[in-house]
């Protein structure tokens, strides 16, 4: 089963003065820091990287300065152990570089993915207004990913005046919307979930980014929330309850259906403009719906071949063995009910495919 949830999100744009650490590729740093995964980083352990480039008389001085630099950059501790920042570079091959200046930030906020900066750029404009409700605590001191350039930066600090107010200029002409798509895939063995942002930022390039999302995810609660005011849902059998007349021809043999919802709120994840459920199991609403369902399956089989009473019983037993039919184990269909169904629906060929074998079986018994 797949659940796809879609919504559009407003993108607000602000010009701010800030301190950043911008991730830059640093393969030479990574090469040295990877030593720290096996042993302490010191002049002896990094010597092999420099001895071919410097004469012996200045090599020790160079090695000392490299170690000092790595400590100053908070990549290693004074004892040669990797810091959290240093370990992060070994995993991603990027070194955070400090910057300070005037920046333009493209920001989004959503119940599912939280408050995020999705793009930044340097600017030279003056700042004229004061912003009182900027989500400082939610954005400062965190990593953000520039989705237009696919790299991360750390927002160390947004500058404020002596009163703690943020000087800024809101750029409404840059404001736009992006699309958020959340896809949840559930099968018998596992649950996968990811969200995707895509769209075109005004006066900027388009964006496309996907990230997995499994934090405290309860598929049971999500589905029950969806069906709270829409259809009936059997949480034990994990299926939507439908009358047989609501079951499409394609769903009769697959025992699954697709459902679509508009403008629906889901738990604390906000309101989605569109929600699609693909391949959700169907549970018959009552015994009558279950009987009409199995009669239709028998009808399908009779279109191409003759069926004996034994064949029909096997179809019924197989139908009842399905998980979705657990509540209808007392279902039974007699030969006369099959023939009456076919005759009532003017299914002449199917009727004779069933009647002929029945006549033959009766004839054989009489002999």
Domain ranges of the chain: 2-20+95-212, 27-92, 219-284, 287-366
Q: What is the CA radius of gyration of the chain?
A: 33
Beta-ladder partners of 4: 183, 276
The DSSP code sequence of 226-291 is HTSSSSEEETTTTEEEE-GGGS-HHHHHH-EEEEEEEEEE-TTS-EEEEEEEEEEEEEESSHHHHH
Return d(Cα 280, Cα 254) in angstroms, integer. 10
- Residue 71 near residue 78 (C-beta atoms within 8 A): yes
- Maximum Cα–Cα distance across the chain: 114
- Measured torsion, CA atoms of residues 220, 225, 251, 358, in degrees rounded to the nearest 10: 80
Burial label, 293 (beta-carbon count in 10 A; 0-12, 13-18, 19+): buried
Return d(Cα 279, Cα 272) in angstroms, integer. 20
Give the model's pLDDT for residue 278. 95
The DSSP code sequence of 68-81 is HHHHHTTSB-TTS-
Return d(Cα 329, Cα 319) in angstroms, integer. 10
Return d(Cα 273, Cα 6) in angstroms, integer. 6
Return d(Cα 241, Cα 328) in angstroms, integer. 13
Q: Are strands 239-242 and 232-234 parallel, antiparallel or unpaired?
A: antiparallel
Return d(Cα 62, Cα 366) in angstroms, integer. 107
pLDDT tens over the chain, length 367 residues: 999 999 999 998 888 888 887 877 778 888 888 888 889 999 888 888 888 888 888 888 888 889 998 898 888 999 999 998 888 888 876 777 777 888 888 889 999 998 888 888 887 655 444 444 556 667 777 878 888 777 777 788 777 766 666 666 566 667 788 999 999 998 767 788 999 999 888 777 788 888 888 767 788 889 989 998 888 999 899 999 999 999 999 999 999 999 999 999 999 999 999 999 999 999 999 999 999 999 999 999 999 899 888 999 999 999 999 999 999 999 999 989 999 999 999 999 998 988 888 877 654 544 4
Coil, helix or strand at residue 53: coil
Instruction: State pTM to two decimals.
Output: 0.74
DSSP label of 170: E
Give the model's pLDDT for residue 136. 62
Burial label, 357 (beta-carbon count in 10 A; 0-12, 13-18, 19+): buried
Give the model's pLDDT for residue 59. 86
């Amino acid at each position: 089963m797949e659940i796809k949830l879609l919504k559009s999100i407003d993108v607000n744009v602000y010009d701010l003065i800030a301190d950043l650490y911008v991730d830059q590729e640093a393969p030479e740093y990574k090469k040295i820091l990877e030593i720290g995964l096996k042993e302490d980083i010191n002049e002896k352990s990094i010597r092999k990287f420099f001895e071919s480039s410097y004469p012996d008389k200045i090599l020790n001085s160079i090695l000392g300065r490299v170690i000092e630099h790595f400590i100053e950059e908070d990549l290693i501790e004074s004892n040669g152990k990797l810091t959290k920042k240093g370990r992060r570079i070994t995993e991603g091959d990027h070194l955070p570089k400090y910057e300070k200046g005037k920046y333009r930030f493209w920001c989004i906020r959503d119940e599912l993915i939280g408050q995020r900066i999705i793009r930044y750029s340097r600017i030279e404009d003056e700042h004229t207004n004061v912003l009182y409700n900027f989500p400082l605590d939610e954005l400062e001191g965190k990593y953000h990913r520039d989705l237009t350039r696919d790299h991360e930066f750390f927002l160390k600090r947004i500058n404020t005046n002596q009163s703690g107010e943020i000087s800024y200029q809101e750029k409404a002409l840059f404001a736009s919307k992006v699309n958020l798509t959340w896809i949840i895939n559930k099968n018998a063995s596992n649950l996968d979930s990811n969200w995707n942002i895509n769209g075109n930022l005004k006066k900027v390039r388009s964006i496309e980014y996907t990230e997995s999302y499994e934090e405290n995810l309860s598929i049971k609660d999500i589905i029950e929330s969806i069906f709270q005011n829409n259809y009936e849902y059997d949480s034990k059998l994990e299926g939507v309850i439908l009358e047989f007349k609501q079951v499409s021809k394609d769903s009769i043999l697959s025992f699954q259906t697709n459902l679509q919802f508009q403008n629906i709120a889901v738990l604390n994840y906000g309101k989605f403009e569109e929600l699609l459920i693909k391949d959700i199991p169907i549970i018959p609403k009552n015994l009558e719906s279950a009987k009409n369902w199995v009669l239709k399956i028998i009808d399908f089989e009779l279109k191409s071949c003759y069926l004996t009473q034994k064949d029909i019983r096997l179809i019924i037993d197989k139908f009842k063995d399905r998980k979705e039919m657990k509540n209808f184990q007392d279902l039974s269909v007699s030969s006369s009910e099959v023939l009456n169904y076919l005759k009532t629906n003017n299914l002449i060929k199917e009727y004779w495919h069933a009647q002929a074998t029945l006549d033959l079986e009766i004839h054989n018994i009489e002999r």
